[in-house]
Structure 1
Amino acid sequence: MAILNLLEETRFEKLPVAIFANSEAASREVARRIAEVITENDNIDRNTVIGLATGATPVLLYQELVRLYREEGVSFKNVITFNLDEYYPMQPNSKQSYVTFMKEHLFNHIDIDWNNVHIPDGTLEEEQVAEYCLEYERKISLHGGIDIQILGIGRTGHIGFNEPGSAPNSGTRLVTLADLTRSDASEDFGGKENVPTKAITMGIGTVFKAKEIILMAWSHKKASIIKKAVECEISTHVPATFLQLSDKVQFVLDKGAASELTRFDTPWLVKDCVWDDELIKKAVIWLSYKVAKPILKLTEDDYNNNGMAQLATNYGPVYDINIKVFNRIQHTITGWPGGKPNVDDSQRPERAKPAIKRSLIFSPHPDDDVISMGGTFIRLSDHGHDVHVAYQTSGNTAVWDHDALRFTEFAIDFSKSRSLDTRRLEQEYRDMLKFLKSKKPNQADTEVIKTVKGLIRKGEAIAGARFVGLDDSHIHFMDLEFYELSKTETKSNYDNDIRKTKELLQEIKPNQIFTAGDFADPHGTHKVCFDILLEALKQLKLEKTDWIQDCWVWLYRGAWHEFKIHEIQMAVPLSPLEVERKRNAIFKHQSQKDYPVFPGDDSREFWVRAEDRTRETAKAYNRLGLAEYEAIEAFVRYIF
């Protein structure tokens, strides 16, 4: 019966999927499998051939392989490797090259023979590439083929650099990279314009020849493309769907990457559910959007015809379900994000007491506060709460070089106009010019340039916070160390940053905290900032700090994505005037206007993204049958 139930749950999935609690556990399992294959082949005096991937996904896998070598005696002396791809053109000693990546994460730490390592050569003349690719294929065949092939997946659905349009029988070749792929790599190269437009990659046909194929994916960021690869029809638009044709493949996912698979996202479509209030809310919202009816107009036929008959039967009549869910959603809406004084707060998202709250907004970069929750920030200030904002990092990497020069030129001209000595400043300026003329993509700036860029963003942040209504004593710049150190070294110890965060929390003793809840990218600044804050709060809680027991934490999201409607626990509606005030606060961040250094895959300006996102949230509420607002900022409470 258990087997039948599992088959029913996975009936939308067209290939095997293994799901783990987190990427660490998944990576350990894949490493164990690789070690198992190596041992089996060593026992029969046979080399093991492994196909390797690069990028953020396999980093934990390589760490575990290094641990197995150091602590459990797994040897790589008889291992031969073939990497999937390399940018073209690319020098092997470049920071962005996959040669550098593989050395740093794996090869420099194990006993592999460098003669057994094969990585596509990005230094070739273009007319040499075709023959080189044929030879790459011949070498794989000469060594008996790949025993186990490791894959990641890009947001275009590419495996290796096999972009949409790649043929299922394609071999190793030179390809042109998709715009989204280059956008995703832009931070590594100091801007998309520096990302190579081409790459050498193994083909899908090459991958198919492997005896075993494991595709790994982590986090919600990969969830939508994983759903397409696993559940949708085979299509050249999503190259990973071709893996459905192989009987040797397995997808290894963490919970985030698996979250949009049908059995997790809409489980009522594949099995009988254990219905709780949250699942009922999610299902009714889904049904409302699917049949394009407000919640209060949903009928029993709507439930029965869309996989929700069990819910209607067990908890009906359906109108009672509709009313309950409608009220729950309505109760998330509040114009009082700090709590409304002197009222019954049992149906409100925030407490009424204390009437005047100490509110602390954590902003990972110097503009996340106004972009993500500028309207709520303004509302808290207007309501007279004791509002503080803490900018966790300098954000200096996101300032154009020409802006750093422009501000330095202004400082020189201003000093001259006041008859001040400018000799030192002019020398610093000449040094800046000299460095920037020879600066390589993604090369770290000099300390002087970092300082100038940091001051630019600091000034903008102060201007934005003042516009919202804060005085300077309530504006805090934390300059967390990890932000600078992460550019030059791998740092797993955040003790100083945690200590600094605890000190600020102890100084303010907030009743409510607002912090970025963007967890899609586990290696991003937002996630690290959140982890540092969370650890600080946990330590204070263990230390039985008095105020911490009554401190609530609210998560907001950035300019790209919003919480799903069923997740939202506090929805702050904005009037047209408040939207305009928020826009003007964002405009104070002039270095990020027009075209930011790291725009991601969204060409819209940040203020446009923010307005579109909050307007879409308001429309989503309205489609459910709730009042029509100009915009809504959304929050989820985090229990620590």
Structure 2
Amino acid sequence: MARLNLLEETRFEKLPVTVYPDEFEAADKVAKYVADIIRKKQSLGKPAVLGLATGATPVDVYARLVKMHREEGLSFKNVVTFNLDEYYPMQPDSKQSYVAFMDENLFNHIDIDRKNIHIPDGTLAPEDIAPYCLAYEQKIEEMGGLDLQILGIGRTGHIGFNEPGSAPNSGTRLVTLDDLTRRDASRDFGGKENVPTKAITMGIGTIFKAREIILMAWSRKKASIIKKAVEGEISGSVPATYLQLSENVKFVLDEDAASELTRFNTPWLVKDCNWDEALIKKAVIWLSSEIKKPILKLTDEDYNAHGMAQLVTERGPAYDINIHVFNKLQHSITGWPGGKPNADDSQRPERAKPSQKRSLIFSPHPDDDVISMGGTFIRLVDQGHDVHVAYQTSGNTAVWDTDVLRYVEFAIDFNQSIGQDTKKLEEIYENMRTFLNTKQPNEIDLEEIRDVKAFIRKSEAFAGARYAGLKDKNIHFMALPFYETGKTEKNPVKEVDVEITMELLQKIKPHQIFAAGDFADPHGTHIVCFRIILEAMNRLRKSEEWTKDCWLWMYRGAWDEFETHEIEMAVPLSPMEVHKKRNAIFQHQSQKDRPVFPGDDQREFWVRAEQRNRETAENYHQLGLANYEAMEAFVRWKF
């Protein structure tokens, strides 16, 4: 019976999928599986032939293999590797090359014989590529074929660099990269314009010859393409769907990457459910959106026709369920994000007491506060709360080099106008110009340049917070040390980062904290900053009484937005408040028009914020609630 239930639950999935709670446990399982293959082949006196992938996904797998080599004596002397791909053209000593990637993450730390390492050559003359690719295939065959091919998946659905349009029988070859693939790689190259337009890749046909294939994917950024690859029709527009034709493939996912699969996203379509409050709310909102009817107009027939008969049977009739969910949504809407004084707060998202709260807004970058919750920020100040804002990082990597020269030129002119000696400043300026004239993509800026970029972001942050109504004493520029590397790749979080955060929390003793829960941030800064706050609070909660009555609200908006069923506090904005929020965002002039790191969304940040806020309000309206101009959304973190 259990087997039948599992088959029913996964009936939309067209290949085997294993889901783990997080990427670390998943990577550990894959690494142990790879190690088992290596050891089994060693016992037989044969080489283990592995197809390897690059990118962020397999990094933890390689780290665990290195650890097993150091601590368990796992030897790689019998291992032969063939990497999936390499950019073209690409020098092997370039830090963006996959040669450098594999050395840094695996090969330099194990006892593999260098002659057993094969990575496509990005230095070939154009006329030599075709025969080289043929020889690459022949080498794999000479070694007896791949025992295991490890894959990641790109957001275009590519495996290797087999972009949409690739043939299922394709071999190793030169390909043109999709624009989305190049945008995703732009961070490593210091801009999309520096990303090669081509690559040499194993073909889908080559991958299919492997005796086993494991495709790994982590994070919600991969959830949408994973759903297409696992549940969608086989199509050249999503090359990973060709893996449905293989009998030797397994997908290994973390819960976030699997979150859009039917059994997790809409489980009522495939199995009986344990109907808790969260699932009921999600299901009813889904049904309302699916058939485009307000919640209060849903009928028993609507529930029965869309896989929710069990819910009506257990909790119905439909009218009772509708009223219950409608009221929960209605109660999430509040114009008092700090709590409404002298009001019944039993149905409100925030407490009424104390009537004046100390509110601390943490902003990972110097503009996340006004972009993501600028309307709520202004309303908290207007309603008399003791509001503080803390900018966790300097944001100094996200300023154009030309802005630096412009500001220093201004400083020279200003100092000259008041009779100050500018000789030293002019020397620094000339050093900056000389450096910037020859600066290479992703090269670390001079310390003086990094400082000026930080000063620019700091002055803009102060301007935005002042516009929201704060006094300077309530504005805190933390510049956490983990961020200060001068490059997009940051240092690991250290004790000092947590200590700085704890000191600020102890100083303010907030009743409510607002923190960025926007983990779609492509640079990872938001999740790192959030974890620092959690670590600081968890330590303080062991000894400081005020923490027991401190609530933490997560906001989004810069990169993503909460789903309607997740929202626990929705703050409506009037047209005037939308305009004021826009003006607060405009104080961040270095991020206007064209930010340095726009991510995949090419809209300006203020445009993204307004459109997402309007979409949130429209979603509420379509469910049958009031028609507001815009809404900012929040979810409470439960300690």
TM-score in same-fold range (> 0.5) = yes
The question of 1:23 aligning with 2:4 is answered no
**Take 1:606 and 1:489, find their aligned partners in 2: how far apart are those partners?**
22
2:442 corresponds to which letter in structure 1?
N
DSSP 3-state at the match of 1:258: coil
Deviations 1:273-325 (CA, angstroms, capped at 9, x unpaired): 11111111110000000110000000111001100011111111110000000
How far apart in 2 are the matches of 1:521 and 1:171? Answer: 35
C-alpha deviation, 1:559, in angstroms: 2.1
| Alpha carbons 1:152, 1:215 under 8 Å: kept | yes
Aligned residue in 2 for 1:616: 615
Q: Specify whether residues 521 and 109 from structure 1 end up closer, same or farther in structure 2 by C-alpha distance, changes over 3 A only.
A: farther
- Where 1:175 maps in the other structure, the secondary structure is strand
Unaligned runs of 5+ in 2: none
Please name the residue that 1:61 is paired with.
61
Which runs of structure 2 are paired with 1:310-325 in the superposition (5 Å)?
A: 310-325=310-325
Could you say which residue in structure 2 is the equivalent of 1:10? 10
**Equivalent position SS for 2:527:** helix
User: What residue number does 2:626 align with?
Assistant: 627
Matched, 1:636 2:635: yes
Structure 1 ranges of 4+ moved more than 6 A: none
Cα distance in 2 for partners of 1:465, 1:22 equals 37
Query: In the aligned structure 1, how far is the partner of 2:126 from the partner of 2:360?
Result: 56
Q: Give, in angstroms, the shift of residue 560 of structure 1.
A: 2.7
Partner of 2:591: 592
Q: Helix, strand or coil: the match of 2:62?
A: helix
After TM superposition, the structure 1 = structure 2 runs for residues 363-512 of structure 1, keeping only pairs within 5 Å, are: 363-485=363-485, 487=487, 491-512=491-512
**In structure 1, how many angstroms separate the alpha carbons of the residues matched to 2:254 and 2:235?**
25
Residue 519 of structure 2 is matched in structure 1 by: 519
Q: CA deviation at 1:61?
A: 0.3
1:118 shift after superposition:
0.9
Instruction: Look up the match of 2:142.
Output: 142
Aligned-pair CA distance for 1:132:
1.4
Greater CA drift, 517-526 or 599-608: 517-526
What letter is aligned with 1:398?
A
Q: Is the 8 A contact 2:396 2:486 kept in 1?
A: no
* Shift of residue 491, structure 1, vs aligned partner: 4.3
Q: Distance in 1 between matches of 2:387 and 2:326?
A: 32
Residue of structure 2 in register with 1:170 after alignment: 170
SS at structure 2 position matched to 1:250:
strand
For residue 528 of structure 2, what is the aligned residue in structure 1?
528
Q: Report the 3-state secondary structure (helix = DSSP H, G, I; strand = E; otherwise coil) of the residue aligned with 1:619.
A: helix
CA deviation string 1:464-523 (max 9, x = no partner) = 000000011111011111112484987445211000000000011000000000224696
Q: Output the amino acid matched with 1:50.
A: L
| 2: CA distance, partners of 1:16 / 1:200 | 29
Contact 2:520 2:560 in 1 (8 A): no
Please give the secondary structure, in 2, of the residue aligned with 1:398: coil
Deviates more, 1:497-506 or 1:216-225: 216-225
- Contact 1:219 1:521 (C-alpha < 8 Å) held by counterparts: no
Measured in 2, the distance between the counterparts of 1:87 and 1:469 equals 50
| Contact 1:221–1:521 (CA under 8 A) maintained in structure 2 | no
Residues 445 and 486, structure 2, Cα contact 8 Å, conserved in 1? no
In structure 2, the residue matched to 1:38 is 38
Number of the residue aligned with 1:300: 300
The residue type paired with residue 352 of structure 2 is A
Structure 2 equivalent of residue 602 of structure 1: 601
AA at the equivalent of 2:631: I
Q: Distance in 2 between matches of 1:238 and 1:622?
A: 35
Kindly provide the CA deviation profile for residues 513-568 of structure 1, in whole angstroms up to 9, marking residues without a partner as x.
Answer: 000002246960001001111100000012x2021000000001132311010000
Structure 2: distance between partners of 1:518 and 1:93? 35
For residue 575 of structure 2, what is the aligned residue in structure 1?
576
- Measured in 2, the distance between the counterparts of 1:55 and 1:309 equals 44
Instruction: Measure, in 2, the Cα distance between the counterparts of 1:431 and 1:378.
Output: 42
Give the conservation status (yes or no) of the 8 Å contact 1:511–1:551.
yes
Give 1:87 shift: 1.2
How much does 1:109 deviate?
0.6
1:150 partner SS: strand
How far apart are the structure 1 equivalents of 2:214 and 2:205? 15
Which residue is 2:129 aligned to? 129
Over 3 Å counting, the alpha-carbon distance change for 1:295 and 1:524 in structure 2 is same
Verify the 8 A CA contact 1:518 1:558 in the aligned structure 2: yes
Offset of residue 219 of structure 1: 1.2
Aligned counterpart, 2:549: 550
Provide closer, same or farther for how the CA distance between residues 535 and 487 of structure 1 changes in structure 2, counting only shifts above 3 A: same
Check whether the contact 1:360–1:514 (CA below 8 A) recurs between aligned residues. yes
Conservation of the 8 A alpha-carbon contact between 1:494 and 1:532: no
SS at match of 1:389: strand
Moved more, 126-135 or 98-107: 126-135
Are residues 443 and 570 of structure 1, via their aligned partners in 2, closer, same or farther at CA, if it must alter by over 3 Å?
Answer: same
Q: How many residues align?
A: 639
Check conservation: 1:559, 1:613, Cα contact below 8 A: no
Equivalent residue letter for 2:611: D
Aligned partners of 2:394 and 2:479 also within 8 Å: yes
User: 3-state SS of the aligned residue for 1:252?
Assistant: strand
Amino acid aligned to 1:617: T
Structure 1: gaps spanning 5 or more residues: none
Contact 1:31–1:61 at 8 Å: present in 2 too? Answer: yes
TM-score, structure 2 as length reference: 0.99
Q: CA deviation at 1:126?
A: 2.1
Contact 2:11 2:270 in 1 (8 A): yes
TM-score scaled by length of structure 1: 0.98
Look up the match of 2:261.
Answer: 261
Task: Give the corresponding residue for 2:559.
Answer: 560
**Cα distance in 2 between the residues matched to 1:483 and 1:266:** 39
Q: Report sequence identity in percent.
A: 71
- Aligned residue type for 2:99: V
User: Once structures 1 and 2 are overlaid, which stretch shifts more, 36-45 or 318-327?
Assistant: 36-45
Cα distance in 2 between the residues matched to 1:374 and 1:492: 30
Distance 1:333 1:322 in 2: 17
Q: Give the residue type in structure 1 aligned to 2:52.
A: L
SS in 2 for 1:396: coil
SS of equivalent to 1:510: coil
Find the aligned partners of 1:472 and 1:232 in 2 and give their Cα distance: 54
The yes-or-no answer on 1:117 pairing with 2:117 is yes
How far is 1:143 from its partner? 1.0
CA contact (8 A) 2:442 2:487 kept: no
